[in-house]
Structure 1
Amino acid sequence: MVEIDWAKEVEARKDDLFKDLFEVLSINSVKDMAHATEEFPVGPGAAKAMLKFLSLAERDGFRTKNLDNLVGYLEYGDADAEAFGLLGHMDVVPVDDKWHTDPFIPVIKDGKLYARGASDDKGPSMAAYYAVKIIKELGLPISKKIRFIVGTDEESGWSCMNHYLELEEMPKIGFSPDAEFPIINGEKAIIGVHTLFPTLKGVGDLKLESFKSGLALNMVPPTADAILTGAPASIEADFTLFLSKNGLTGQVTFDGDKAKLHLVGVGVHAMDPTLGKNSGTFLASFLNNYNFDASAANFLKVVSEYYHLVHHGEKLGVAFEHPVMGNVTTPANLFNYSAEGEKKVTLNVRFPAGTDVETIEKQMSKVLNPFDVKVEVEPGGNREPHYLSGEDPLVKTLLDVYEKHTGLKGFEESIGGGTYGRLLEHGVAFGALFQGRESTMHQPDEYMFVEDIIKAAIIYADAIYRLVK
């Protein structure tokens, strides 16, 4: 049998790969429910990016299907054959003003491709697409059909995949190019937990008019803002000292009798909140030093004492560690407090096998009950952990390919992130972040090394062909 030089095949198509990738990266595909319509259920941007991806597949001769602008797929091989699944997504998390380049004008600098979605998940998805394209163009014999499913709501709800499952059958085996190498064969369950605060009677020296922080549930908030009345003149100096001690930035501005505080933390992917600095909890911990009205005092006390720097639910009664899958994580990522309206903080809770939704809700309710805080688990989410044994043939094959092309030893790994790989009975996440590389997913100045996108395409082409030939 002739050995295929996958590196040569990818190199020959490198310019086309990046041309196509730049096109999808240039589309602002943040979920936009403010402009959602019956035609575009999660907004026009994400659908536009998905449709562009499908149009590239049509150009290259693949069968395609669009399921109501929520999810689509391309297909190659005998339509009646068993399906091998690839699952990627075209939606991206929101951006802030901390970028040094336009997040939707991709640019290559110092060997890095900067753009929102470069590493999560447009870059890896395009690498996987070109792997399938190579297999097709070489006319290689395959016994399974390849179905590449592309979603539009992976980052905040998975309505796309729920819709797919209503209309189509999910392949039983495959992978999602949406995490890291060498492999992710274990994923924690992921739920949103709302903590609803009461409105209480009672005044203080200060009144908290509003407190807002957070861009997305799966992202540790990078900035936080509060508006208060009755602030002492010393608050500006106090805040400056607090920021300096904690390695943060921000400022206080005054507008009549109102003081506006803005704090800049470090936003990161919620799967490992220890890597960031939660702006919401830091700002609450600062304000907790003052004598506020009763509602605000209750809110600030809970956030600063039970959420601040409490990454694994230690003070919420839900701490648990699995020997393979790791710890529960409980970052508070969405804050919405209004003196006259809603008072809510939503936690992004991720947990391994060994605990469950009911236990977490019960324990948090017990701990927060003295503060009249109501705990509600958000409907949906990935409510069960996913684990595929390291002895599974899929895992063994993917690790073998990884070792061949990197010269590094492969190993099993579990993460707090949730990928489409968990939707497959025999599914994993495979790449495309390489060992030793910084993860900038969900962060300003998101990037992926150009050479890593090429290397991922090589690995994907070899792996996919081994699994479908």
Structure 2
Amino acid sequence: MNDPRWASIDAFAEQNRDAVLRDITRLVAVPSVEGTPEPGAPFGAGPKAALDKALEIAAELGLHTYNADGYIGWADTAPIAEGQKFLATITHTDVVPEGNGWDADPYTVRVRDGWLLGRGVADDKGPSILCLYALKYLKDSGIALRYPVRALLGANEETHMHDVDYYAEHYPMPAFCFTPDAEFPVCNGEKGGFSGELVSHALNGVILDFQGGVAVNAVPDRAFCVVNVPADRLTPAEGITLEAGEQPGTTVIRGWGKSGHAAMPAGTVNAIGLIVRYLLDSGICTEAENAYLQVLRTLHADTDGTALGIAADDGLFDPLTVVGGTICMKDGVIRQTFDCRYPTNTNPETMSAAVRKVCGDAAALENVSSRVPFYIAADSPAIQTLIHTYNDVTGEGKTPFTMGGGTYARHFPYAVSFGPEHTDLPLPEFAGPMHGANEGANFDKLIEALKIYILALLRLQEIEL
């Protein structure tokens, strides 16, 4: 690294390792799954508490802070004048539900063999702390900034992103923004999103209950179904266990899979899909139940949409992905959610028609929502600044990429996602992915990311925005 500022950046990051770990631990300790709206807490008490904690940490670091009615908050290197161009980072302090399969308390950070384990260490509380420390460096260094820098802290990214909608409606947008909520090097395009529910008729048959999944955008690692059939009439299968139900003559069928992010389903095992196949193969359900289960079997048959008839690949993005996220039963009606990430050569109308064809008379497609793909040219000045900075620090020679994950970047006129994950860094067996159990982040890589972010924000000062 031949940048004259590197020695100072490197020293700052290394000297603050313990402080960074301390503050990640403090932020992770605040459970922040979306809850019931309250006054001053539009996304529930948990997200509000986490946003408050992040702003508390920012103030301790000497940054100027602001809380925008509990929707979103930020820290600035210096007050930003009206009409002044500024740079921004944006992370989020809300998390997906902790889910199942953890080896310890999800909200207590553990350090094991150089890895941090805890809900949010990677997505996105760890990166939130990195951004605050990057701004601390910029402020404390005394370097004159052409563009002040704002670290935006969201509270609703994992569900609806109403936090950034609120910001866009009420506050000025940055000249350029990056979000540390994905993988390195630089993601300059995100697939579109298509989601909805596959809803049964009132079945009132053999299935008494069916529940599974913790989030629409996560592959469920466990689910259960209660059936009005004695356990001695059923046989265990791979990924399936059986136990006697609370009511005489009933059985609880449990599916045991492997969780992961809906945008990256490779290697996951969907517990709902395991139960659906088991029910159909066992032959215990009514004709109406079987008809609906066949629809679900088609959904769970693959993760590229081939069985549903919606597979797509445009050569720019990775191919389409689709997973079933949650399932619930109430008053005899089963609702199965799905999460689809799609490239540019299809659209929600085409996919809706295909899914309705699969549903036939056995199910209804309801509560459909979608977002279009977005793409920023890789040769734009800010993106080139980020990719060159990453490569200068790591020596890797990487190029920008596109992905299936959806981040805040698509909500800004000029924005990308920028680390801190490394897809080529294998997870140890004791750590899990974002949205999974034992969510893990390599601490050395987080500290390296802090250095990259500081240098990138300095270099962005040198281009015309």
Common fold, TM-score beyond 0.5? yes
Equivalent runs, 1:370-381 vs 2, <5 Å: 370-371=361-362, 373-379=363-369
Deviation at 1:128, TM superposition (A): 2.0
1:323-347 alpha-carbon deviations (Å, 9 max, x no partner): 0212111111111134x33321111
Q: AA paired with 1:272?
A: M
1:107 to 94, 99, 110: 110
Q: TM-score, normalised by structure 2?
A: 0.92
Secondary structure at the counterpart of residue 435 of structure 2: coil
Q: RMSD of the alignment, in Å?
A: 1.8
Distance 1:460 1:172 in 2: 17
2:187 to 184, 187, 201: 184
Deviation at 1:390, TM superposition (A): 1.3
Distance 1:363 1:145 in 2: 49
- Aligned equivalent of 2:348: 357
Contact 2:231 2:244 in 1 (8 A): no
Number of corresponding residues: 450
1:444 aligns to 2:434 (yes or no): no
Equivalent runs, 1:50-449 vs 2, <5 Å: 50-77=51-78, 79-80=80-81, 81-199=84-202, 207-231=206-230, 233-235=232-234, 238-239=235-236, 242-243=237-238, 248=239, 250-255=241-246, 256-289=248-281, 290-304=283-297, 306-338=298-330, 340-371=331-362, 373-379=363-369, 383-437=371-425, 438=427, 440-449=433-442
Contact 1:79 1:145 in 2 (8 A): yes
Structure 2 unaligned segments of length 5 or more: list them: none
Q: Cα distance 1:134–1:250, how it changes in 2: closer, same or farther (>3 A)?
A: farther
Deviation at 1:92, TM superposition (A): 0.9
1:47 aligns to 2:48 (yes or no): yes
Deviation at 1:253, TM superposition (A): 2.6
Secondary structure at the counterpart of residue 219 of structure 2: coil
Distance 2:33 2:167 in 1: 20
Deviation at 1:180, TM superposition (A): 0.7
Deviation at 1:78, TM superposition (A): 5.6
Deviation at 1:369, TM superposition (A): 2.2
Contact 1:267 1:277 in 2 (8 A): yes
Q: TM-score, normalised by structure 1?
A: 0.91
1:49-94 alpha-carbon deviations (Å, 9 max, x no partner): 1111112222233222211212111122461320212110001111
Contact 1:291 1:297 in 2 (8 A): no
Distance 1:326 1:429 in 2: 16
Contact 1:191 1:377 in 2 (8 A): no
Q: AA paired with 1:368?
A: C
Deviation at 1:274, TM superposition (A): 2.5
Contact 2:231 2:249 in 1 (8 A): no
Secondary structure at the counterpart of residue 330 of structure 1: strand
Secondary structure at the counterpart of residue 174 of structure 1: strand
Q: AA paired with 1:391?
A: D
Identity %: 27
Secondary structure at the counterpart of residue 291 of structure 2: helix
Distance 1:345 1:38 in 2: 32
Contact 1:174 1:424 in 2 (8 A): yes
1:37 aligns to 2:24 (yes or no): no
Deviation at 1:257, TM superposition (A): 1.3
Q: Cα distance 1:3–1:291, how it changes in 2: closer, same or farther (>3 A)?
A: closer
Deviation at 1:2, TM superposition (A): 4.6
Q: AA paired with 2:135?
A: V
Secondary structure at the counterpart of residue 294 of structure 2: helix
Range moving further from structure 2, 410-419 or 164-173? 164-173
Q: AA paired with 1:146?
A: V
Distance 1:38 1:336 in 2: 30
- Aligned equivalent of 1:28: 31
